[in-house]
DNA sequence: ACAAATATTTAGATTAGTCTAAATATTTAG
DNA sequence: CTAAATATTTAGACTAATCTAAATATTTGT
């Protein structure tokens, strides 16, 4: 079994690799982990020993398949717990990170899969980040706020920022729900309200306030 | 902050003290923690240093108020998580211990209190053990052994003494579970086995050994 | 009561994860 | 292209939690 620290290093390496570099430097990792470079060198030697990362002196590291699978499973647990904390325990989306950092290390595949089912297999966490499935497969695109996309862009609604009953009821009324296709027709400069087309059919107007609270995935 | 290990020692000391002794010996603790006596001596020195336990060489240990409060908070978390796992994720009551052992160390008072509310403030865990409230007060309504009640008495099952997988699986099979109504029909003098009626319906025979391991609240 | 048995502590070692300081390798700028 | 700047690794040390072996204290049985 791997320690919390090892799991955290693997997660950090995964996230840094996701940014595009082909290998992660000791310095980048030490910044991410808020430890010293010497500490990172020690740790990556141990992870390489365990065949969780590929490491050559002075050349940075990459994940092996085994290491990558562990990193993804930690990310899956982190994001599912975040959904649980927000949806079921009504925490705000910006309060859950620290708790999820601890919960992600609870060791039980069965537990995380049951949480997944309990939450009805969510695809995105409350921050709009995609949740890998039980096989480690996930949609790599992060969701963005509807208020931040360009005219003409086609999207799929993936979540909300504001979880208030009022807001959810409003969405229901205008016909917006998770999975709905949304195309941005135009932005009105005056108040930044927008006109969108739903499922290639009805067009509706949404205030900037509403657009700031809707998460979408660009298509 | 205290480490997982420190929290586990405090919990173990609390449980051993509950058994009635006025101090916990190094040997008792080493058996409970499955570590060596020498390891326990090191650890209790550290806990005494932190003023979480009272310790005098060769005299065993007791908990300070501070240590007791921590132990109770760990027990509260453990039992609430067990209720969550059984009630919400539909685990069987004999599958949840290991997961709860990990979850009990997640640090957030707010989290455990919200879980408590989410579960509607349960008073007993799935094994029938009482759950301390947010102030550390146990519901002291002490359940009694089924073996100790009188013929004709109506009870509600609240827990078990023996937590072995074997015993819990046996109970499952005969249809006994927390909350079940049990009426004592008769005691057979020969071997002290008993006949009980469940929920005013089916009657079943239980050995004295089983009756000695079932906790009930008289109605 | 006192020797044998048992319990407890001390001493010295190990591993994971961290640090600082020094050594070495790589990258970059003139 | 080489010297300076930067990045990385090595060496040596520290703490928490554990161990074994040895020393010491307490308890028990005749």
Closest residue by Cα to residue A105 from A66, A134, A65, A75: A75
Nearest CB neighbour to B99, from listed A90, A91, A106: A106
Nearest to A86 by CA among A141, A144, A129: A129
Question: Is B116 within 8 Å of B124 (Cβ atoms)?
Answer: no
| Contact with chain A for residue B111, Cβ under 8 A | yes
Lowest mean pLDDT among A62-76, A149-163, A198-212, B77-91: A149-163
Q: Answer yes or no: is A199 CB < 7 A from strand C.
A: no
Q: Which residue of A89, A114, A115 is in closest CB contact with B115?
A: A89
Residue A10 CA to residue A4 CA, distance in Å, equals: 10
CA distance to partner chain A, nearest, from residue B120 (Å): 12
CB contact under 8 A, B108 and A85: no
- Give the tokens for residue B2: 């205290």
Tokens linked to B21 = 């002794």
Distance CA(B54)–CA(A198), nearest Å, equals 68
Calpha distance B109→B111 (Å, rounded): 5
- The answer to whether residue A54 scores a pLDDT higher than 80 is yes
| pTM confidence score | 0.83
Residue A159 has pLDDT above 90, yes or no: no
Nearest-Cα distance to chain B for A166, in Å, is 21
- A163-194 pLDDT, tens digit per residue, is 777 888 898 888 888 788 999 998 887 888 99
- Going by their DSSP bridges, the two strands B53-55 and A61-63 should be labelled as unpaired
pLDDT of amino acid A161: 81
A106 touches chain B (CB under 8 A): yes
Q: Inform me whether the C-beta atom of residue B106 falls under 8 Å from chain A C-beta atoms.
A: yes
pLDDT of res. A168: 81
Look at A90 and B115 and tell me if their CB atoms are within 8 Å. no
If residue B205 lies in a helix (H) or strand (E), which one and from where to where?
Answer: strand B203-206
Cβ–Cβ contact B3 with A under 8 A:
no
CA of A176 to C1' of D18 (A): 57
The separation, in Å, between residue B45 CA and nucleotide D19 C1' comes to 17
Chain A residues whose beta carbon lies within 8 Å of the beta carbon of residue B5: none
Cα–Cα distance between B52 and B73 in angstroms, integer? 14
Residue B42 contacts strand C, CB under 7 A: yes
B21 touches strand C (CB under 7 A): no
Contact B136, B106 (CB under 8 A): no
What pLDDT is stored for residue B142 in this prediction?
65
Please state the ipTM of this predicted complex: 0.84
So what's the pLDDT on residue B140?
A: 62
Q: How far is the CA of B3 from the C1' of C11 (A)?
A: 25
Q: Is A205 on the interface with B (CB under 8 A)?
A: no
User: In this predicted structure, what is the pLDDT of residue B202?
Assistant: 87
Cβ of residue A43 near strand D, that is under 7 Å?
no
Instruction: Quickly tell me which residue has 């079940």 as its tokens.
Output: B180
Q: Is A1 on the interface with B (CB under 8 A)?
A: no
User: How far is it, in rounded angstroms, from Cα B53 to Cα B56?
Assistant: 10
Å between B8 CA and nearest CA of chain A: 16
Residue with tokens 């729900």: A177
Tokens coding B24? 């916990």
Task: State the pLDDT at residue A131.
Answer: 95
Distance of residue A101 Cα from the nearest chain B Cα, in angstroms: 10
Residue positions counted in chain A: 219
Pairing of strands B144-145, B61-63: unpaired
Could you tell me whether strands B181-187 and B154-160 are parallel, antiparallel, or unpaired per DSSP bridges?
antiparallel
Give the number of other Cβ atoms within 10 Å of residue B66's Cβ: 13
Does the CB of B45 sit below 7 A from strand D? no
On chain B, the residues whose CB falls within 8 A of the CB of A115 are 89
Chain C bases having any atom below 7 Å from a protein CB = 7-12, 16-22, 25-26
pLDDT digits (tens, 9 = 90+) for A72-126: 999 999 999 999 999 999 998 888 999 999 999 999 999 999 999 999 999 888 8
Q: Read out DSSP for A23-43?
A: SB-HHHHHHHHTS-HHHHHHH
Is the C-beta of residue A4 closer than 7 Å to nucleic acid chain D? no
Give the rounded percent of residues in chain A with a pLDDT score beyond 70.
Answer: 100
Closest nucleotide to B41, Cα to C1'? C9
Write out chain B's pLDDT in tens, 219 residues.
889 999 999 999 999 999 888 899 999 999 999 999 999 999 999 999 999 999 999 999 999 999 999 999 999 999 999 999 998 999 988 899 999 999 999 999 999 999 999 999 988 888 778 899 999 998 766 678 898 888 988 898 887 777 677 888 899 898 898 888 999 998 887 888 999 999 888 899 999 999 988 888 887
Residue in chain A nearest B88 by alpha carbon: A118
Instruction: State whether residue B96 sits within 8 Å of chain A by CB.
Output: no
Question: pLDDT band for position A162 (50/70/90)?
Answer: confident
Question: Which has the closest alpha carbon to B215: B180, B170, B174, B189?
Answer: B180
Residue B139 forms contact with A (CB below 8 Å): no
* Contact indicator for A47, A108 with CB cutoff of 8 Å: no
């Amino acid at each position: 079994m791997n320690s919390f620290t090892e799991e955290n290093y693997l997660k950090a390496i995964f996230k840094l690799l996701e940014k595009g570099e082909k290998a992660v430097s000791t310095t980048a990792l030490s910044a991410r982990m808020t430890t010293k470079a010497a500490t990172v060198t020690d740790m990556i030697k141990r992870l390489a020993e365990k065949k969780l990362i590929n490491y050559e002196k002075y050349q940075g590291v990459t994940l092996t398949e085994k290491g990558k699978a562990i990193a993804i499973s930690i990310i899956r647990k982190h994001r599912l717990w975040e959904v649980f904390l927000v949806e079921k325990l009504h925490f705000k989306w910006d309060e859950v990170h620290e708790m999820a950092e601890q919960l992600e290390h609870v060791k039980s595949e069965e537990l995380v899969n049951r949480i997944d089912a309990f939450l009805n297999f969510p695809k995105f966490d409350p921050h709009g980040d995609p949740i890998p499935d039980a096989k480690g497969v996930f949609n790599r695109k992060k969701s963005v706020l509807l208020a931040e996309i360009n005219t003409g862009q086609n999207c799929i609604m993936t979540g909300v920022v504001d979880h208030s009953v009022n807001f959810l009821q409003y969405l229901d009324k205008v016909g917006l729900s998770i999975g709905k296709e949304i195309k941005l027709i135009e932005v009105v400069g005056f108040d930044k309200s927008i006109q969108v087309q739903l499922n290639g059919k009805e067009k509706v107007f949404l205030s900037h306030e509403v657009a700031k609270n809707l998460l979408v995935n660009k298509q």
